[in-house]
Structure 1
Amino acid sequence: MDIEDTPTATSELLCQAIVNSDEFNFNKQLALQVFTLWMCSPLLELQLKSTHKPFQIRQNWKYLVEHYGHASYNRQQRDEPIILFKRNVFFLQHLEEKIKDQKILELLYEEAKHNILEGRYPCEVSHYIMLGGIQARIELGPYNSQVHSIHYFREEQSKYLPAHVRKSATWTWLPISSKNSAEVRLLEQYKRVPNSATNRKLIRKYLEFCWSLPFYGAAFFEGQIEQPVRGLISLMTHQDIPVLVAINSKNVYIIDDVQCTVLLGLRYEEFSWDHAKPSKEDDPNCLPCLFLQFVVVENGARVSKILQVFSRQAGLMDSLISNFVQQLKRKSSGDEPDRAFDQMNTENETHASINSTPFTHNSTNLPNLPSLNNKLSRLTLATFDEDGHLIGQMGSWSFSY
């Protein structure tokens, strides 16, 4: 695209240029609500405000990566961002599910597919196989026995399945595959798609499954949590667990980034939070923290648990959570209409304290998700009774009275 005065061009202007380009034939007004500009690299992903100037953001990228990125200095210096036109994290999902514009749905499908293949949307292996079969049918057309063999899918499975699913498959250099291997199951799923199925229907089916996932549409942030110490050997060898923090308009999820497993999922009504700067700001190994506090029933009594997430991106998480909570409060009071918000990383006048929840707890139970249960045993947590007294601590937790 030819953009006049590129250094001062805003994100809003670039989005207008994108939707007005000849390559897209979609509802322009709707597309500007659904999508916005992001600047992304392997180390950092930022949704830009409408007033941001992408050229200037790019000029300051090294500083941003140094401030927010989890990587060595050399890797930070090599980091190269790209501009992406993708889903606005503030666009409401129930409005998205009503969209009929096929071009918009195709873009949403591509983004959902990316998150599935990157393992950012944890689900059952059978679901990954099902989605891989749909993707194969969209991209390859109807099944052709002369081309689409087990060998083909063994060689090409990285296109259709996330890495942690492929690892369980038969070694690719072996000439045979077990009947339960990923490539065999993927081929069978692909063959099951009816020849009469159109790409329009298949894209819709793919998205409908992704819409059912509670972390759909989330922004992702890198962090780490302490691994529970179990025994002397564990104490000597334990390391922090790298996690993704997924934040959307309804929930916050902590995802094991290695095993692609949900460790904790909480609705905004179920937790309070706080953000803490590093205690030693001149120490690069001392990271900011995001604290999540939630209530569970343990041995018949209500107790409060606190999880500490270490991350250079804790401030970004705090700001996004604050935006969503304020949005929910305005909606519940009838002051906020149903619309998408173009605001990220803004400062808020009020900040939820870790000692007070943004909402009254409606339940003492954690959210129940099919096959995606919270795994509290894998978390290092501090425990408080209803009077606020510390009754259990793990890891680096220490409190003085």
Structure 2
Amino acid sequence: MRRDEPCLQYKRNVFCPKSKELQVEDENVLRLLYDEAKLNIIEGRYPCDPEHWTRLAALSCAIEIGTGLDDQQLSTAIRDRKLSSLLPAHVVGGVGAGLLSTLRLRAGRRAELEQSLLKEYHTLNTHTEPRPLILQYLSICHTLPYYGCAFFMGEIDKPAQGLLQRGGRKAVSVGISLEGVYVIDTKEKHVLLGLRFSELSWDHTYPDAEVNSHILWLEFDGEEDGTPVNKLLKIYSKQAELMSGLIEFCVELRSVSDVAASQMASAKEESVEGARGRRPGKVRRQSSVVCSRVHTLSTISYVDDGKEIKRLKPKRAASFFTKQTPASYAAVQVTDNVEQS
């Protein structure tokens, strides 16, 4: 503690609506919002797809270097600044990359990324002032459901890879905003679970004799072998109590704003709240990092038949002596009344 150096950071208020950001006139305030959003993109805290981070990197070039540059001028400026200051670290190999992958990047991947960035840069409108460009950058970030979240660190159980192999735990970051809760894989940089507050229940438990950790429990609707079930996700974290308190405050804040809204807004909100009792629609495969991957989670499933809670027994996929093939992982997108997050 004595060796720690204090660090002063400006952080976006979690309770500030996105719509108010685009109404800000002070360019210095917009710069602070831009700097924080860019840092979260580069560090992978805001997972995004290639078309998003390419566009954002091109806007960063226009904001920080200038508009109207030719290919040679822009290439020189990019090399001086390095791609790692414009693109997510996991894209350019800055995090978790070994020596061989770094060498491959320098040989071919770097040139490919630069060409994509140059091409995207020339599609931008040549604004003379940075404000319109900053607003465009923030508008793209606003499409990410976890933009503006407060983030907490935690771990979840990994699914067992075989009958005799334990799954272990996986590091995740948990984002909480006025809209909902998002569980993000910190290594793979994609969303594992995204839920609105109307789609979940939660609780917090303290360490006990069996589990020496604070746990945040998230309950949500799901499906197992075609049967509607309730799913429980355990998030192990020293910050579980803080997360539970923030969720409770956000839910109360939303309920107060709903009461103060007009009759039309209230009727619309009631229709959204009415979705709580409905089961979510079927899911379809999707490659976007923004979409939930519920099938990759290790959850507890149960059904309520009106009399008692019954645990579902997992079906054996093969003989005990047959080698299990690894599960294939693919992104999913929820349709109907479930948020695509």
Pairing 1:21-100 to 2, within 5 Å after superposition: 79-100=4-25
1:103 matched to 2:34? The reply is no
1:381–1:393 contact (8 Å) kept in structure 2: no
Partner in structure 2 of residue 129 of structure 1: 54
**Equivalent residue letter for 2:92:** R
1:384–1:392 contact (8 Å) kept in structure 2: no
Q: Which runs of 5 or more residues in structure 2 are unaligned?
A: 263-272, 316-341
Partner in structure 1 of residue 123 of structure 2: 192
Q: CA deviation at 1:203?
A: 0.3
1:252 matched to 2:181? The reply is yes
Mapped to 2, the partners of 1:231 and 1:391 lie a distance apart of: 19
Partner in structure 2 of residue 373 of structure 1: 291
Partner in structure 1 of residue 238 of structure 2: 312
Mapped to 2, the partners of 1:323 and 1:366 lie a distance apart of: 29
> Quick one: which of 202, 205, 208 aligns to 2:139?
208
**Equivalent residue letter for 1:296:** G
Mapped to 2, the partners of 1:279 and 1:241 lie a distance apart of: 21
Percent identical among aligned pairs is 34
Pairing 1:173-184 to 2, within 5 Å after superposition: 176-177=107-108, 181-184=112-115
Q: CA deviation at 1:144?
A: 4.0
Pairing 1:217-232 to 2, within 5 Å after superposition: 217-231=148-162
2:71–2:118 contact (8 Å) kept in structure 1: no
Partner in structure 2 of residue 391 of structure 1: 312
> Quick one: which of 88, 108, 120 aligns to 1:162?
88
Partner in structure 2 of residue 322 of structure 1: 248
Mapped to 2, the partners of 1:178 and 1:360 lie a distance apart of: 45
SS at match of 1:83: coil
Q: Give the superposed CA RMSD.
A: 3.2
Q: CA deviation at 1:310?
A: 0.2
Q: CA deviation at 1:319?
A: 0.6
Q: Which runs of 5 or more residues in structure 1 are unaligned?
A: 1-61, 63-76, 337-357, 395-401
Pairing 1:325-344 to 2, within 5 Å after superposition: 325-334=251-260
Mapped to 2, the partners of 1:150 and 1:181 lie a distance apart of: 15
2:301–2:311 contact (8 Å) kept in structure 1: yes
Mapped to 1, the partners of 2:25 and 2:37 lie a distance apart of: 17
Q: CA deviation at 1:177?
A: 2.9
SS at match of 1:389: strand
Note closer, same or farther for the CA distance 1:174–1:252 as it changes in structure 2 (3 Å cut): closer
**Equivalent residue letter for 1:129:** T
Q: CA deviation at 1:309?
A: 0.2
1:148 matched to 2:79? The reply is no
Note closer, same or farther for the CA distance 1:106–1:302 as it changes in structure 2 (3 Å cut): same
Mapped to 1, the partners of 2:21 and 2:230 lie a distance apart of: 35
**Equivalent residue letter for 2:87:** L
Note closer, same or farther for the CA distance 1:154–1:181 as it changes in structure 2 (3 Å cut): farther
Mapped to 1, the partners of 2:30 and 2:244 lie a distance apart of: 30
Note closer, same or farther for the CA distance 1:300–1:252 as it changes in structure 2 (3 Å cut): same
SS at match of 1:228: coil
2:10–2:32 contact (8 Å) kept in structure 1: no
Mapped to 2, the partners of 1:104 and 1:302 lie a distance apart of: 47
Partner in structure 2 of residue 361 of structure 1: 276
Note closer, same or farther for the CA distance 1:151–1:199 as it changes in structure 2 (3 Å cut): closer
**TM-score computed with the length of structure 2 as normaliser:** 0.76
1:263–1:375 contact (8 Å) kept in structure 2: yes
Mapped to 2, the partners of 1:223 and 1:366 lie a distance apart of: 29
1:302–1:364 contact (8 Å) kept in structure 2: yes
Mapped to 2, the partners of 1:332 and 1:178 lie a distance apart of: 49
Mapped to 2, the partners of 1:92 and 1:327 lie a distance apart of: 12
**Equivalent residue letter for 1:264:** L
The C-alpha deviation readout for 1:185-241, integer Å capped at 9, x for no partner, is: 123222333434531111010000111111111000000001100215743xx4311
SS at match of 1:216: coil
> Quick one: which of 296, 305, 310 aligns to 2:222?
296
Note closer, same or farther for the CA distance 1:382–1:174 as it changes in structure 2 (3 Å cut): closer
Q: Which moved more, 1:307-316 or 1:177-186?
A: 177-186
SS at match of 1:112: helix
**TM-score computed with the length of structure 1 as normaliser:** 0.65
Note closer, same or farther for the CA distance 1:97–1:193 as it changes in structure 2 (3 Å cut): closer
> Quick one: which of 63, 75, 79 aligns to 1:138?
63
2:193–2:293 contact (8 Å) kept in structure 1: yes
